[in-house]
Amino acid sequence: MRPIWKGSISFGLVYIPISVYPATREEKLSFRQLRASDLSPIRYKKVAEADQKEVSADQIVKGFEYERGQYVVLKDEDFEKVRIESTHSIDITDFVDLDQVDPKFFYKPYFLEPQKGGEKAYALLHKALNGTNKIGIAKVVISNREYLAAVKPDGLFLILELMHFAGEVLSPEQLNRPRTELNEKELKMAQALIENMSVEWQPEKYRDEYRTAVMEMIEQKAQKKELPRVEAKAPRSTNVVDLVKVLQESLNRNQSVRVKRPSSRTGPRSTTSLVKQRRRAAA
């Protein structure tokens, strides 16, 4: 795996050389638009709104619409004038309690790997943060854009988690707040159901069932197989009359499922393995 960025972590007079690696990946299915008659891929042309004429790359400039229909043209040298000075340092300015930060602020994690000469300082920061339940709040510049970020321990490593600025986190003030009275029996039943459904966190247990189903469908169509018709399920009623009754039925159903569930666990199969299995079966 190649690093996306190299630089350092700095706080006070401490300097830790690090490399930054992606900590997540997004698995998306990509589709092309084709002409129906011969399945020729469709290309997109860049055309001007004024006359619908195609515009070549050397005639395209960047512009910011400051008023409707009014633009300021920005050139590369304009962006150079506002280039952030610190481009290779994760500058920790504050340490705060992790519990004080709303989870909505965090949105993208990266692994931080210590480089030669920085191993001891890296280990020291990792252990110190682990012992205080604090995170470092920092500014970092990646690809000429400044980000708010947090440096925090994760297992044996430190991670850099990009964060939203305060103005980017929306408030739920416009939502209708539920105003209703709850009785003690309803609350206890809900808590019992939650307790009954509680398990140890196993992230590999949860799979993208839609993506798997789409890949299976694509494999069947590629082999010219007829797809079985799937009947649509009737929508659930949203008119809950007796909440206690629904909770009790849910509790009974979940207990029944737990009794029938086999004790042996098998790991989740990847989409690739499912496709290969179907190919072997077809052969």
Q: Report the CATH number that the domain containing residue 124 is assigned in CATH.
A: 2.40.290.10
Residue 129 is predicted with a pLDDT of: 95
Residues 135 and 200 in one domain: no
Residues 96 and 189 in one domain: no
Residue 184 is predicted with a pLDDT of: 87
Structure tokens at 32: 């092309």
**Separation of alpha carbons 91 and 10, rounded Å:** 5
Residue 133 lies in a domain: yes
Residue 156 lies in a domain: yes
Ordered alpha helix ranges (H), 95-242:
119-132, 184-196, 209-222
Residues 149 and 216 in one domain: no
Structure tokens at 64: 């910011």
Q: Strand, coil or helix: what is 253?
A: helix
Residues 160 and 122 in one domain: yes
Q: Residues 17, 115: contact at Cβ < 8 Å?
A: yes
- Please tell me the total count of domains within the chain: 2
Residue 256 lies in a domain: yes
Q: pLDDT of 126-166, one tens digit each? A: 999 998 999 999 999 887 788 999 999 999 999 999 999 99
Residues 153 and 192 in one domain: no
Residues 91 and 11 in one domain: yes
Residues 118 and 247 in one domain: no
Residues 207 and 266 in one domain: yes
Residue 282 is predicted with a pLDDT of: 45
Q: Residues 45, 54: contact at Cβ < 8 Å?
A: yes
Residue 60 lies in a domain: no
Ordered alpha helix ranges (H), 74-232:
76-81, 119-132, 184-196, 209-222
Q: Residues 40, 32: contact at Cβ < 8 Å?
A: no
pTM of this structure: 0.69
Residue 271 lies in a domain: yes
Q: Strand, coil or helix: what is 154?
A: strand
Q: Alpha-carbon Rg of the chain, whole angstroms?
A: 27
Structure tokens at 132: 């205080």
Which of 141, 168, 195 is the last residue in one of the domains?
168
Kindly give the parts of the chain with pLDDT less than 70. 83-87, 234-241, 258-283
**Separation of alpha carbons 163 and 274, rounded Å:** 37
Residues 129 and 213 in one domain: no
Residue 161 is predicted with a pLDDT of: 96
Q: Which residue type is seen at 2? A: R
Measured over the CA atoms of residue 196, residue 198, residue 199 and residue 204, the dihedral's sign is: positive
Q: Residues 159, 100: contact at Cβ < 8 Å?
A: no
Whole domain around residue 278: which residue ranges? 184-230+239-282
Residue 268 is predicted with a pLDDT of: 45
